[in-house]
Amino acid sequence: MSLFEKFQALAATRAGLGSDGPAPIATPIDSVRSATRGMIGGREVILAGTNNYLGLTFEASVIEAAQQALSELGTGTTGSRMANGSYVDHRALETELAAAFGWPAGIVFSTGYQANLGALSGLVGDGEYLLVDSDSHASIYDGCRLSQAQTIRFRHNDPDNLDRRLARLGEEASKALVVVEGLYSMLGDQPPLAEFVEVKNRHGAWLLVDEAHSFGVFGERGLGLTEQMGLLDEVDFIVGTFSKSLAGIGGFCVSPHAELELLRLASRPYIFTASPSPAVMAATRRALALLLEGQDLRKRLHRNINHLYEAVKAMGHELGSDQPGPVMAIILPDRATALAHWRGLLDRGVYANLMIPPATPAGLNLLRISLSAAHSEDDINQIVAALQDLRETVSLTATG
């Protein structure tokens, strides 16, 4: 038996997506010309599938900060934070992130994925509990696997279901960490955060909110859904990433509990991973400053969001969420129809994301669009026109 035999079903799924034109999964982007323009398959397209929510990837001051750090500190740290890879900018960024929330503690990780791995596996251990939303990101589930805690799933966005699970734990609920996301990246829906807070408070549990896709997007200062809902005093940990609104790569965990600092001594993904490069740290510090002052950026982003949502809802599409946000998921009846829409958009000069099982919740086939503050009104109009044309020309009852 070959070690690769178990991948045959995945290979068949990939083959079923066809070989004509650019690959719809891990699509090669030949070049990127701006925050909203790139080249795919020899043609220029609008980038509407990049999670570049504030459009900061080509911001001059962010690039300049990275270039200066690259020149002065080199290309990499060549070591972990626990060994030789802890530079001034790492600590400075941690201090700035914590200060943005008004909290005493913050830790930077090398990726957003590792932020969840490192936080969950380090914070919760043997004899304790992780209660996670069933639609949680893969990094959350992998953090649960790495932890020695008992993992309990509750129904997606269902506070009553969480309530029943915590009730079964009784006094042990004080050893439970509840994990939800500020914005779910596949369907673009948001949690009923106030209700979750009420449930965890009543049972004496702890709460972690993953604001990866909501950081920079919601709240007066862009701190995420927790800030927008006025609940910063009610959560115990916030995890986020640099690879969305902050236009880089990396992740963080911040907390109102100063004891978070002790996580550095217990989190294997933190201890044994090389630290982020100097250029990444410098660029992220500058991007964070722009994010916190970015009320105008958020206004532009939400203007684009509302424009697209109103137009697509008027077409009669089924959407993943009735709450407009930077991620819009169009639910399509099957893989063939979703693929036809993805290729049709690309043919019309718009790059979006094709999302199919097993990567999607409930086996859904999705066309996923993510918007940016950098998109112009003309960009949104072009996306709308392409979708409208596809609505009229691609059957929604295809099979495959």
Six token digits for residue 253: 């965990």
| Contact predicate 154/173, CB 8 Å | no
Q: How far apart are CA 214 and CA 308, in angstroms?
A: 18
Query: Where is average pLDDT lowest: 29-38, 210-219, 295-304, 391-400?
Result: 391-400
pLDDT confidence of residue 347: 96
Mind listing the pLDDT tens digit for each residue in 245-274? 999 999 999 999 999 999 999 999 999 999
pLDDT confidence of residue 231: 98
* Owner of token pair 């960490």: 177
Q: How far apart are CA 59 and CA 36, in angstroms?
A: 12
Q: What is the CA radius of gyration of the chain?
A: 21
398: pLDDT strictly greater than 60: no
| CA dihedral for 189, 194, 197, 198, sign (positive or negative) | negative
399 pLDDT tier (thresholds 50, 70, 90) = very low
Mind listing the pLDDT tens digit for each residue in 65-124? 999 999 999 999 999 999 999 999 999 999 999 999 999 999 999 999 999 999 999 999
State the chain's mean pLDDT as an integer: 96
* Owner of token pair 């509750």: 154
pLDDT confidence of residue 387: 97
Write the secondary structure of 243-257 as one string of H (helix), E (strand) and C (coil). Answer: CCCCCCCCEEEEECC
| Contact predicate 359/24, CB 8 Å | no
Q: What domains, with CATH codes, occur in the chain? A: 5-54+295-393 (3.90.1150.10), 60-292 (3.40.640.10)
